[in-house]
C-alpha cells in the first residue's frame, strides 16, 4: 500500500490498514508467531523420536516427562502467540479509530474557537465605533478587548491540541508528525447501542479476551507440572507444583472479575453519553430557533447584525458540541466492540 497524501483525505478503513501494515508491534508479533511454530515443530519431532507419550504421574524415565511437557508447552506458546497477533491487530484497529475521532474532535474545537474569536473581533469593532462616536467610554472597551484576548488564547490552545491529536494518529499509521490528512468518516448521527442481555455481553468478553486466554493457558501449564513431576527436567515437589497451580487459578479469577467490571462500566458510560447526545440535540434545535428569530428581528430592523452573529455563533457552537458527542460515541463503540470480541464494522481485510 502506497503512502497516503499527507494533506489528502483519509478514511478510517485506510488508516487502520496503514497501521496494520506499518506497526512494529504487529511485525514483531508475526515474527514471534513464526518462531513459536518452529519451536513447536522441533518439540514435536523430539516426541516422535521418543516413541511414546508418557502417562501422568511418576515415571521411570524423567526425560520422557520433560520431552512430552515440552511439546505441550511449545504448542501452548504457539497458540498464545497466534492469539497475541490477532489481539494486537484488533487492539491497534481500536486505537486508530479512537485517534482518528480525536483528530475530528480537535479540528472541530479549532473551528469553534476560530468562530468565537471572529465574533469577539466583530464585537470589539462595534465597541470601538461607539467609542469613536462618543457613545461609550474607554472603560466600555475593556470587556470586549478582554474577550478577544481570551478567545485568541483559546484558539491557540485548541490548535495545539489539534497538533497533538494529529501526532498521535500519525504515529499509529506511520506518517510524519507534521502530516495533516483530512479525516472523511465524520459521524453525522448516532445509533444507540443495542444490548439485549448485559450478561451475554459479559460472556462474550470473557470468551474473547486475549488476557484471559493467556491466563487459562497458564492454568493448563501449571496443571502439566502437577501431572508430570519431571516436566522441568528435574523433580518438582508436589506441594510446589500445586502452589503454582493455585496461583494460576487465582490470577485467572482476578482477570475474569476485572473483565466483568470493565464491561459493565463501559456499558454505563455509553448509556450516559447517549443521554448527553439526546440533550444536546434538543439544545441544537433551540439554538436553531433562536438564530431564526434573530434573523427575523434583524430583517425587521429590530436588531443589529451583531445580534444575528451571536445567535449564529451559538448555533455553530451547539452543533460543534453535538458533533463532538457523536465522535465520542463512535470512540466508545470502538472500545465496546474490542472489549466484547466483535470485529470492526469497516469490512477490513482479515487481521490474520
What are the residue ranges spanned by the domains of the chain? 9-339
Q: What pTM does this model have? A: 0.80
Asked if 313 and 290 touch (Cβ cutoff 8 Å), the reply is no
Average pLDDT over residues 273-298: 95
- Range scoring the smallest mean pLDDT among 154-163, 235-244, 275-284, 313-322: 235-244
DSSP label of 183: E
Q: Which of 67-71, 185-189, 200-204 has the highest mean pLDDT?
A: 200-204
How buried is residue 338: exposed, middle or buried, by Cβ count under 10 Å (0-12/13-18/19+)?
buried
How many Å apart are CA 88 and CA 102, to the nearest integer? Answer: 21
How many Å apart are CA 294 and CA 309, to the nearest integer? Answer: 9
> Per residue in 307-352, pLDDT tens?
898 899 899 889 989 999 999 999 999 999 999 988 665 544 443 3
pLDDT of 59 = 57
Asked if 118 and 308 touch (Cβ cutoff 8 Å), the reply is no
CATH of domain 9-339: 1.20.1600.10
How many Å apart are CA 308 and CA 305, to the nearest integer? Answer: 5
> Per residue in 42-60, pLDDT tens?
999 988 888 877 776 555 5
Non-local (6+) Cβ contacts of 97 within 8 A are 12, 16, 330, 331, 334, 344
How many Å apart are CA 209 and CA 213, to the nearest integer? Answer: 6
Q: What is the 3-state secondary structure (H, E, C) of 119-157?
A: HHHHHHHHHHHHHHCCCCCHHHHHHHHHHHHHHHHHHHH
> Per residue in 226-255, pLDDT tens?
888 776 666 667 777 788 899 999 999 999
The single residue listed with the C-alpha cell 491557540 is 156
How many Å apart are CA 313 and CA 199, to the nearest integer? Answer: 45
Q: Helix, strand, coil: what percent of the chain each, to 5?
A: 75, 0, 20
pLDDT of 99 = 95
Element (H, E) at 10: strand 9-10
Its sign, for the CA torsion 126, 127, 129, 134, is positive
Higher pLDDT, 74 or 65: 74
Amino acid at each position: 500500500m502506497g503512502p497516503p497524501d499527507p494533506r489528502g483525505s483519509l478514511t478510517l478503513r485506510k488508516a487502520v490498514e496503514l497501521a496494520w501494515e506499518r506497526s512494529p508491534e504487529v511485525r514483531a508479533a508475526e515474527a514471534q508467531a513464526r518462531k513459536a511454530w518452529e519451536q513447536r515443530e522441533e518439540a514435536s519431532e523430539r516426541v516422535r523420536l521418543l516413541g511414546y507419550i508418557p502417562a501422568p504421574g511418576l515415571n521411570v524415565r524423567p526425560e520422557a516427562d520433560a520431552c512430552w511437557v515440552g511439546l505441550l508447552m511449545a504448542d501452548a506458546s504457539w497458540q498464545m502467540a497466534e492469539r497475541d497477533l490477532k489481539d494486537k491487530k484488533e487492539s491497534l484497529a481500536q486505537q486508530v479509530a479512537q485517534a482518528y475521532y480525536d483528530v475530528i474532535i480537535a479540528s472541530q474545537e479549532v473551528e469553534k474557537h476560530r468562530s468565537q474569536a471572529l465574533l469577539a473581533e466583530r464585537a470589539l469593532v462595534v465597541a470601538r465605533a461607539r467609542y469613536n462616536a462618543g457613545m461609550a467610554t474607554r472603560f466600555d472597551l475593556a470587556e470586549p478587548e478582554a474577550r478577544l484576548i481570551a478567545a485568541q488564547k483559546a484558539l491557540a490552545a485548541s490548535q495545539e491540541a489539534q497538533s497533538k491529536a494529529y501526532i498521535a494518529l500519525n504515529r499509529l499509521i506511520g506518517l510524519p508528525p507534521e502530516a495533516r490528512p483530512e479525516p472523511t468518516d465524520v459521524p453525522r448521527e448516532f445509533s444507540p447501542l443495542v444490548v439485549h442481555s448485559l450478561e451475554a455481553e459479559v460472556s462474550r468478553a470473557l470468551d474473547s479476551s486475549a488476557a484471559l486466554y493467556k491466563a487459562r493457558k497458564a492454568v493448563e501449564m501449571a496443571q502439566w507440572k502437577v501431572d508430570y513431576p519431571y516436566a522441568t527436567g528435574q523433580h518438582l515437589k508436589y506441594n510446589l507444583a500445586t502452589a503454582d497451580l493455585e496461583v494460576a487459578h487465582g490470577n485467572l479469577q482476578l482477570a475474569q472479575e476485572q473483565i466483568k467490571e470493565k464491561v459493565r462500566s463501559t456499558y454505563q458510560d455509553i448509556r450516559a453519553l447517549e443521554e448527553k447526545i439526546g440533550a444536546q440535540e434538543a439544545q441544537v434545535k433551540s439554538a436553531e430557533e433562536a438564530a431564526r428569530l434573530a434573523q427575523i428581528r434583524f430583517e425587521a430592523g429590530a436588531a443589529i447584525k451583531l445580534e444575528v452573529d451571536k445567535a449564529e455563533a451559538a448555533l455553530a457552537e451547539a452543533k460543534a458540541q453535538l458533533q463532538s458527542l457523536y465522535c465520542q460515541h463512535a470512540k466508545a463503540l470502538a472500545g465496546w466492540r474490542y472489549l466484547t470480541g466483535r470485529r470492526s464494522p469497516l469490512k477490513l481485510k482479515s487481521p490474520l
